[in-house]
Amino acid sequence: MKKMLQKSLFLTLAFVSATCLLFAGNPDRQGEAGASELMMNPWARSAGLHSMTTSMVSGVEAMRINPAGIVRIDGSQALIGHARYLGSTGISMNAVGLSLGMGESGALGISIMSLDFGDIDVTTEAQPEGTGATYSPTFFNVGISYAHMFENNISVGMLFRAINQSIADVSAFGFALDAGIQYVSGPQDNFKFGISLRNIGGPMSYSGEGLTFRQNNPNADDFPFELRFSQRTASFEMPSLLHIGLSYDFYSGFGDRYRLTPVVNFTANSFSRDHLGGGLEFGFFDIVAIRGGYRYEMGAGSALEDKEVYTGLAMGFSLNLNFREDSSTGFFIDYAYRDTNPFDGTHNFSLGINF
């Protein structure tokens, strides 16, 4: 069984090496993909390391980074998250998730995320300053996932996600698939390695009554009536990407109460530049954790307009309040900040319970 798992891991690594060639960053295609909310992270713990936790993410947050990590907690977990996206833009992310342990080696998860754009003024050609009415777009996605662990070393997971974008009379709907693997080794499960392939799906396009209009018949002199036309819209691709990450836990102190974890992660984006980065997480008595990282956009120029909005800096902390000292059940609170230029950064807050 062990040899079979080792062969499976080797084949997976070979597959990833080949996939990297297909998923290499392509800035010439930047802006061609849609459903960009799939690239946003509403969870604070992983956001504190700029979503570079492919190898070590666990529980509900794994459904956004690497679904193989859903099974890497004891028992079950419920989590809610809120984020102020790019500070002064007035956009926020809201999410809720649940992971349920299924026996000793399986876990089932569900996550829901939405964007809140606030109220936007309705404008027309005749009233460019606004008609007095408002509307709010609906950006909503729900994911269902399952992960399984083999002999505590290898876990694999898959996630199926439905995506909806709509206003009152125009909408787009699509599906995407995530898949991932995590490998853990070492005397205290110190070494962690993870791979995930995200947002794989067919193209989406908009449709609805809002894309129709009326126009006079070209032969109105003979037949005076109006015709109804429907505008065709271009389809757009999913923002597919590949994560590869490594981390290692260093323990020290009485009873291994102190933990220092360096993290390295590479992301190959299909429709933008690739990312490479790393960070550190320090844990104290399994009660407090402090983390920070930097993510570099490969191939970006020095001009501000040639870079993405995130500067690469991220930081955060966690506070765990266990019900008993010898128990992993309890509440936890997470916070993260990611620096941006311009705007005022992104703030993430999460509140969860392990049970």
Would you say 276 and 246 are in contact if contact means Cβ atoms under 8 Å apart? no
Q: What DSSP letter does each residue of 22-49 carry, written as one string?
A: HT---GGGTT-B--GGGG----HHHHTT
CA neighbor of 51 nearest in space, from 350, 283, 300, 279: 279
| Range ranked top by mean pLDDT from 1-5, 19-23, 219-223, 271-275 | 271-275
pLDDT score for 205: 93
For residues 14 and 32, what is the distance between their CA atoms, to the nearest angstrom? 29
* Per-residue pLDDT band at 10 (split at 50, 70, 90): very low
pLDDT of residue 292 exceeding 70: yes
For residues 27 and 316, what is the distance between their CA atoms, to the nearest angstrom? 30
pLDDT score for 325: 64
Is the peptide bond preceding residue 137 cis, with omega within 30 degrees of 0?
no
pLDDT score for 191: 97
pLDDT of residue 192 exceeding 60: yes
pLDDT score for 21: 44
Mean pLDDT is lowest, of 26-30, 145-149, 170-174, 291-295, for 26-30
pLDDT score for 268: 94
What is the average per-residue pLDDT within 137-155?
94
* Per-residue pLDDT band at 17 (split at 50, 70, 90): very low
pLDDT of residue 186 exceeding 50: yes
pLDDT score for 51: 96
pLDDT of residue 22 exceeding 60: no
Q: What domains are there in the chain, each with its CATH number?
A: 2-202+240-354 (2.40.160.40), 204-236 (no CATH)
pLDDT of residue 33 exceeding 90: no
pLDDT score for 212: 85
CA neighbor of 54 nearest in space, from 72, 36, 38: 72
CA neighbor of 333 nearest in space, from 312, 346, 316, 355: 316
Which amino acid is present at 254? F
pLDDT of residue 24 exceeding 90: no
96: three-class secondary structure by DSSP: strand
Give the rounded distance of the alpha carbon of 316 from its chain centre. Answer: 17
pLDDT of residue 14 exceeding 50: no
52-65: pLDDT as tens digits = 999 999 999 999 99
Give the rounded distance of the alpha carbon of 11 from its chain centre. Answer: 26
What is the average per-residue pLDDT within 263-269?
96
Mean pLDDT is lowest, of 76-85, 91-100, 123-132, 214-223, for 214-223
* Per-residue pLDDT band at 327 (split at 50, 70, 90): low
